[in-house]
Amino acid sequence: MITSRRIERRVIDLYRQGIITGGCYTGIGNEATSVATAFPLAEHDVLVPTHRDMGSHVVRGHTPVQIMQQYLKRATGQTRGKDSSLHMGREGSNIVGMISHLAHMAPVAVGVALAERQLGRNSCVLTTVGDGATSLGDFHEALNFAAVQKLPVLFVIVNNQYAYSTPVSLQYACDKLSDRAAGYGMPGETVDGTDAVEVYDAARRAYTRGRRGEGPTLIESVTMRARGHSEHDDFKYVPSDLLEAWWRWDPIERFERYLEEHHVMTAEERRSVGEDVDHEIERAIDIARADPMPTPESGADGVYRYWEPRWTVPSGEDWELEP
């Protein structure tokens, strides 16, 4: 959780300095959900994350160096400058890289689960959507079919109160988003998304069900988007008292208190871990900044896995019929 938080704090700094450009979405406030839902996954399970899931990327092994290379659009980044931010997940990583179109990864996650079953691997799949993304048809289509097929998918709705500027009151009219689960014939529960332990327990129950062949689960994890939609957004539309009140529920502070109360980690140990993390992130930034930018021409590479040179239609400047 602190790796996620601190990477994103630095991402914001670099964005403000103009070193990171483009959309700058963070999962600040969402760390407990993102980390604790991914934590119980087994190595062979598959993550289909979305745009505020820095936590689950970190849990699943993406390193600060890889993340910075990607955010800085370096030639060494996973998408080699062709895409940016958390759109990561190369072949063999058990992470399927997202596109921006909301809710579009939900059917893909179901397809992954179908394939895993067909391939004889008893893998669970974790995917997330925001409160806003639940309004798209793809979300409905995916939940319905996952339930029909009894596929081991955990759908996590990260209800962070806003979809860009749209508050949840304008997004849906049901009481809790987890109520929708009943309509699909799957269990649903709403958890406190700032409490890592509660989220973890709920996720583990979902994976246990999934592995037993009992099908998908819907978890609504209630949290707060602690920053603007993207860093360009001053989020003046969020009432300041709401935000202030929320910070008392900072998932990281809550988990630190938990560690303290249960004598898992002392303040001293936590500080030392924090220093190591900071150090690693600074090193990652240095490495990524020193890495080469992609060449402009590489923007035309890799559209297809298989393409023959003769298939490219030439321009008359480069090709001539024999006289």
Partner 1 sequence: MSEATYIAAIREALVEEMERDARVFCIGEDIGHFGGAFKATEGLLEKFGRGRVVDTPIAEGLILGVAIGAAVRGLRPVAEMQFADFVACGFSQLAYNASTFHYRLGVSVPMVVRLPSGGHVGGGPFHSKNPEAWFTHTPGLKVVAPATPRDAKGLLLSAIRDPDPVIYLEQKYLYRREKDELEGVEAIPFGRASIAREGQHATVVTYANTVSMALAAAETLAARGYEIEVIDLRTLVPWDWETVVRSVDKTGRVLVVHEATRTSGFGGEIAATIADLAFDRLDAPVRRVAALDTPTPAEKQMESYVLPDADKIEAALTDLLLY
List of residues contacting Mg ion (CB under 5 A): 130-131, 160, 163
Binder to partner 1 among 23, 39, 104, 280 (CB under 8 A)?
Answer: 104
Residues found near ligand TPP in the complex (CB under 6 A): 52, 100-102, 130-133, 158, 160, 162-164, 225, 229
Catalytic residues: 225, 229, 237
Query: What is the identity of the amino acid at 250?
Result: D
The one segment of 143-151, 205-213, 233-241, 276-284 that binds partner 1 by CB under 8 A: 143-151
Distance CA(146)–CA(107), nearest Å, equals 9
- Tell me the CA distances in angstroms from 38 to 48, 139, 140, 185, 257, one per residue in order: 10, 20, 23, 24, 21
List, in sequence order, every beta strand (DSSP E) within the chain: 46-48, 125-130, 153-159, 162-163, 166-167, 188-192, 217-222
Q: Which is nearer to Mg ion, 136 or 293 (CB)?
A: 136
Task: Pick one of Mg ion, ligand TPP, partner 1, none as the site partner of residue 215 (Cβ within 5 to 8 A by kind).
Answer: none
Task: Pick one of ligand TPP, Mg ion, partner 1, none as the site partner of residue 102 (Cβ within 5 to 8 A by kind).
Answer: ligand TPP
Distance CA(147)–CA(214), nearest Å, equals 9
Binder to partner 1 among 142, 157, 206, 285 (CB under 8 A)?
Answer: 142
Q: Is there binding between residue 141 and partner 1 (CB under 8 A)?
A: yes
Q: Is there binding between residue 81 and partner 1 (CB under 8 A)?
A: no
Closest residue to Mg ion using C-beta atoms: 130
Q: Is there binding between residue 116 and partner 1 (CB under 8 A)?
A: yes
Measured in degrees and rounded to the nearest 5, phi and psi for residue 170 equal -100, 0
Task: Pick one of partner 1, ligand TPP, Mg ion, none as the site partner of residue 141 (Cβ within 5 to 8 A by kind).
Answer: partner 1
Q: Which is nearer to Mg ion, 30 or 69 (CB)?
A: 30
Binder to partner 1 among 20, 68, 112, 238 (CB under 8 A)?
Answer: 112
Q: Which of 6, 110, 98 is nearest to 58 (CA)?
A: 6
Binder to partner 1 among 75, 115, 170, 242 (CB under 8 A)?
Answer: 115
Task: Pick one of partner 1, Mg ion, ligand TPP, none as the site partner of residue 110 (Cβ within 5 to 8 A by kind).
Answer: partner 1
Binder to partner 1 among 110, 126, 156, 202 (CB under 8 A)?
Answer: 110
Distance CA(283)–CA(285), nearest Å, equals 5
Contact footprint for partner 1 (CB under 8 A): 46, 48, 78-79, 82-83, 87-91, 96-97, 99-101, 104-119, 137-138, 141-142, 144-145, 148, 302-308, 310-316, 319-321
